[in-house]
């Protein structure tokens, strides 16, 4: 018998701290370090976006790490040891990222193409290892939440944990803003490197300690007599997985929607802080706060979307409203830059976050509706892969399109280069709405049920 112990409110609160730590690190990598590399160290935006994208491109490894944690418990625990190993890994990579960033800066300044290529490859490898470590920690973490909750408890637990990710982004952005105030106006690498290195060591140490506190003693030990039960059902080969994924047009439609929606939401992610720096002349401490305002809006959007809008209007209608709000927010983002209104910029980001929260809540709810018990792991993996791929594309294309916009508008007009990216983001979100109109939960269930039955019959024939 696989008996769930259940998550007490205290255990759930502890576990959610880990997700908050991930939010804090996301602000550091996608926000502060991203801005410093582009604006202070003059890295090509395509290099920064491409390097950061390697974290997301490691997402397929989640399937492997999930299977390993299922099959190979360490000292009677299937999840906690892997969470701690992964956390130790990404904290180590975070610390190592600072010297490597400045080695790359020196190579770019020196102009030696061999040194530049070597440093750039090294930076991409480091971000890849960081992404692998994130996958190693987060996959067993989510599996632990599933292990310890019933189907009735799970939506509440996932909702709290998702909100905690946003809280971590907000708290992290505020903490970074306070601790980096002394770096405002500094662009000298000799001064930036030691300050950032000390900051990253402190942050990584705190994240590791919080993770240990969050996870220690929460997981119950595996019964040796039952730890291998169900492994056969969980081992889905690549060919079989592909058959399931391609069995229903609705799976392809929703997969496409997730890619377009996530791309429309995050195409500006790698350039937002540079937008504040180059168009509004904001210092590092204030551009970091852009993420805090966006995060506050997202948190409010998640709450009112889940508690009020979605129950009244339905998931599909709420998702459409969220997407239209994203388009409206992007137009306002362009207008704030045209008038160089700093106050408007921060206000727009709250609205943008509100739109993101409402759209995300409904998209997550749709993901649950478009997941069947017989193949929940496979479909959740597919939806997660769609989001990870689009986040990676957002990082690559966001930086690359900014470089293209600068080329088209000329070096003297930074605003037009950023506006070019935001306009393309609006077009992508329009496409997401078009695809969303073709999503049908009823058709999905009808199409997949026959395919699942056929696959099960094929397994019996073998």
Domains 7-219 and 233-462 share a fold: yes
For 175, how many CA atoms within 13 A lie in the half-sphere containing its CB? 17
Number of H helices, E strands in the chain: 19, 0
- Per-residue pLDDT tens digits of the chain, which is 462 residues long: 344 556 777 888 888 899 899 888 888 877 778 778 887 888 887 788 777 778 777 877 776 777 677 777 888 888 899 999 999 999 999 999 999 989 988 888 887 888 888 988 998 899 899 989 988 888 788 778 777 776 556 656 666 777 888 788 778 878 777 877 777 777 788 888 888 888 899 999 999 999 999 998 888 766 555 444 444 444 444 455 556 666 778 888 998 999 999 999 888 888 888 899 999 999 877 887 887 788 789 888 887 887 788 778 888 999 999 999 999 999 999 999 999 999 999 999 999 999 998 898 788 777 767 766 555 445 655 666 777 778 778 877 888 899 899 888 877 788 999 999 999 999 999 999 999 999 987 888 777 666 656 655 555 454
pLDDT at position 462 is 45
**What residues contact residue 249 under an 8 Å CB cut-off, 6+ apart?**
443, 447
Write down the pLDDT at residue 224: 53
> What local confidence, expressed as pLDDT, does residue 95 receive?
93
- Superfamily covering domain 7-219: MFS general substrate transporter like domains (1.20.1250.20)
48/2 Cα distance (integer angstroms): 46
- For the chain, the domains span 7-219, 233-462
CA angle (215, 160, 175) in 5-degree steps: 75
Full-model pTM = 0.69
Give which of 336, 371, 366 is closest to 245, Cα–Cα. 371
Burial of 150 (0-12, 13-18, 19+ CB in 10 A): exposed
Confidence (pLDDT) at 2? 44
**CB-CB contact of 384 with 369 (8 Å):** no
Helical segments of 370-413, H only: 376-409
Position 409 scores a pLDDT of: 84
For the chain, what is the radius of gyration of the CA atoms?
A: 22
Instruction: Tell me how far CA of residue 316 lies from CA of 31, 266, 309, 311, 362, in angstroms.
Output: 31, 21, 11, 11, 7
pLDDT value of residue 79: 84
Helix (H) or strand (E) holding 265: helix 249-266
Q: Report which of 393, 29, 413 is spatially closest to residue 207, judged by C-alpha positions.
A: 29
Scored b (16 or more CB within 10 A) or e, 366-390 reads bbebbbeebbebbbbbbbbbbbbbb
Q: What angle do CA 406, 410, 415 make, to 5 degrees?
A: 60
Task: Give the residue carrying structure tokens 């030990």.
Answer: 221
User: Which residues, in sequence order, are CB contacts of 174 under 8 Å at separation 6+?
Assistant: 289, 292
CATH number for the domain formed by residue range(s) 233-462: 1.20.1250.20
Contact status, residue 428 vs residue 260, Cβ threshold 8 Å: yes
Q: Which residues of 60-79 are buried (b: 16+ CB within 10 A; e: fewer)?
A: ebbbebbbebbeebeeebbb
Task: Give the other-Cβ count within 10 Å of 234's Cβ.
Answer: 12
In whole angstroms, what is the distance from residue 140 CA to residue 65 CA?
A: 8
Token pair of 370, please?
């478009």
């Amino acid at each position: 018998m696989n008996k769930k112990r259940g998550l007490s409110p205290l255990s759930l609160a502890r576990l959610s701290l880990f997700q908050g730590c991930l939010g804090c690190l996301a602000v550091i990598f996608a926000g502060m370090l991203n801005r410093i590399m582009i604006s202070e160290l003059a890295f090509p935006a395509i290099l920064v976006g491409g390097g950061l994208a390697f974290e997301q491109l490691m997402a397929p490894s989640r399937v492997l790490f999930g299977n390993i944690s299922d099959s190979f418990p360490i000292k009677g625990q299937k999840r906690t040891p892997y969470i701690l190993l992964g956390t130790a890994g990404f904290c180590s990579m975070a610390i190592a990222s600072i010297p490597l960033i400045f080695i790359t800066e020196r190579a770019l300044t020196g102009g030696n193409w061999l040194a530049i290529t070597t440093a750039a490859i090294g930076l991409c490898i480091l971000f890849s290892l960081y992404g692998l470590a994130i996958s190693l920690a987060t996959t067993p973490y989510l599996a632990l939440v599933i292990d310890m909750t019933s189907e009735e408890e799970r939506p509440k637990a996932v909702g709290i944990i998702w909100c905690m990710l946003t809280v971590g982004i907000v708290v992290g952005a505020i903490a970074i803003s306070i601790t980096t105030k002394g770096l405002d106006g500094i662009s000298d690498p000799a001064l930036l490197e030691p300050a950032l290195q000390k900051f990253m060591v402190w942050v990584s140490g705190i994240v590791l300690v919080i993770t240990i506190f969050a996870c220690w003693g929460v997981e119950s030990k595996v019964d040796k007599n039952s730890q291998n039960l169900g492994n056969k059902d969980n081992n889905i080969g690549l060919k079989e997985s592909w058959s399931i994924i391609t069995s229903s047009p609705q799976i392809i439609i929703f997969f496409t929607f997730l890619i377009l929606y996530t791309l429309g939401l995050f195409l500006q992610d790698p350039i937002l802080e540079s937008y504040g720096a180059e168009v509004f002349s904001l210092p590092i401490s204030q551009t970091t706060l852009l993420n805090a305002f966006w995060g506050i809006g997202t948190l409010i959007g998640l709450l009112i979307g889940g508690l009020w809008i979605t129950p009244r209007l339905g998931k599909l209608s709420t998702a459409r409203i969220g997407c239209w709000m994203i388009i409206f927010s992007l137009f306002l983002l362009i207008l704030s830059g045209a008038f160089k209104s700093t106050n408007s910029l921060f206000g727009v980001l709250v609205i943008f976050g509100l739109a993101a929260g409402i759209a995300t809540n409904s998209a997550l709810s749709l993901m649950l509706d478009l997941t069947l018990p017989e193949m929940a792991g496979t479909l959740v993996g597919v939806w997660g892969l769609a989001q990870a791929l689009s986040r990676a594309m957002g990082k690559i294309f966001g930086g690359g399109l900014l470089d293209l916009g600068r080329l088209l508008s000329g070096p003297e007009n930074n605003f037009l280069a950023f506006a070019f990216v935001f306009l393309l983001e609006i077009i992508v979100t329009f496409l997401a709405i078009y695809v969303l109109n073709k999503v049908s939960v009823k058709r999905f269930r009808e199409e997949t049920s026959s395919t699942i039955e056929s696959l099960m019959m094929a397994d019996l024939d073998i």
